Amino acid sequence: MPATYNSSCPFSGSDILVTGGLGFIGSSLARRLVALGAKVTLVDSLIPEYGGNPFNIYDIRERVTVDLTDIRDAPAMASLIERRDFLFNLAGQTSHLDSMTDPLTDLNINAAAQLSILEACRLHNSGVKIIFASTRQLYGRPQYLPVDEKHPVNPIDVNGINKLAGEWYHLLYNNVYKIRACALRLTNTYGPGMRVKDGRQTFLGVWIRNLIEGKPIQVFGDGRQRRDFNFIDDVIEALLLAAAAPASEGGVFNLGHSEHISLQELATLLVRLNGGGNYELIPFPADRAAIDIGDYYGDFRKIDKGLGWSPQVSLEDGLTRTLEYYRKHHAHYWDSTR
């Protein structure tokens, strides 16, 4: 790190499909790919409960193709997958609570649709390289820290089970059908463009919204739970490195950060960076307590050694940039009179 991309390789002139392309990570990836000279098609269903937001690509709208297709539409996806050089498979249902109240929808998006996409690749484009956005949630409650890729998988919610199935489908098709695929197990990704209107994508988004609106941050429990966070720019570098490197194929890689912080410390930091505000400790809601994983931070030595990735953006710098973005653009992410 930093990654050594230039105009000649490997993305310049490539035909690239990004599922979940109007979402937080997909739109940020699209911006980088366009700058690298790629031909980019973004697939998004713009289901209101999920993370898609047309404003996320306001600055590159004329330089990408947008296709409003649901990844559960197998025939449409099969047509979109043909002739692509890379598939960044980022679309998914990310809410852990929603997966518990509507498990079949989560199953259809995070598992069944993934299998359909892979079948389309096998039948219509076996040469595509696929990068799948997986999650640290599939580890469940850690047995040891930091969590490495050898840690047992033990999902504690429906979302984790279905994401694990989706990940393993990708690895199976890599191993059996030689469709080049890998998975990155993301931790708490944050930055400009993330969903902040509610907690469906990340609690940190709601915290930032509350700060900007002058409301207290609500920290569940005693606030001692420790987490690691990756700023969006670092996650995009990991995705690009995984796409470019043959060494990634058939592999799973944890992302993570060397900075670990308790949620109470995080709330204190945000208040300071915001120049004001406050937080409060409140009891865990029962539905959240049942699926909370406690402390988690990842061991990212495998991707560091194998692909040359390590996070470059400090938590303080990333949070500062995120706060600045939403102070400027909040009207595009939630209703507010501020």
Residue 96 has a pLDDT of: 76
Backbone angles phi, psi at 33, to 5 degrees: -65, -40
- Are 2 and 312 contacting, i.e. CB atoms less than 8 angstroms apart? yes
229-272: pLDDT as tens digits:
999 999 999 999 999 999 999 999 999 999 999 999 999 999 99
Amino acid type, 143: Q
Burial of 305 (0-12, 13-18, 19+ CB in 10 A): exposed
Residue 336 has a pLDDT of: 52
Q: What angle do CA 213, 324, 328 make, to 5 degrees?
A: 70
User: How high is the mean pLDDT of the chain?
Assistant: 93
Residue 337 has a pLDDT of: 42
Residue 99, SS3 per DSSP: helix
Q: How far is CA 211 from the centre of its chain?
A: 23
Residue 198 has a pLDDT of: 75
Residue 95 has a pLDDT of: 77
What is the arithmetic mean of pLDDT over 287-306?
90
Residue 218 has a pLDDT of: 94
pTM (2 decimals)?
Answer: 0.94
Asked whether the predicted pLDDT for residue 7 surpasses 70, the reply is no
How many angstroms separate the first and last alpha carbons of the chain?
Answer: 39
Residue 56 DSSP label? G
Strand partners, 280: 218
CA distances from 127 to 30, 82, 228, 333 (A): 21, 10, 35, 38
184 Cβ contact partners less than 8 Å away, ≥ 6 residues apart = 131, 132, 133, 134, 238, 239, 242, 252, 253, 255, 303
What is the arithmetic mean of pLDDT over 153-180?
96
CA distances from 297 to 9, 139, 185, 226 (A): 33, 11, 12, 7
Q: What angle do CA 139, 310, 114 make, to 5 degrees?
A: 45
200 Cβ contact partners less than 8 Å away, ≥ 6 residues apart = 49, 50, 51, 94, 95, 97, 98
Lookup result for tokens 């590159």 = 60
Backbone angles phi, psi at 286, to 5 degrees: -60, -40
- Domains in the chain with CATH codes: 15-191+227-259+295-313 (3.40.50.720)
196 falls in which pLDDT band (50, 70, 90)?
A: very high
Residue 4 has a pLDDT of: 47
Token digits for 263? Answer: 């949620």
CA distances from 83 to 26, 86, 114, 116, 257 (A): 20, 9, 18, 17, 36
Q: Where in 191-241 does DSSP place strands (E)?
A: 217-220, 226-227, 229-231
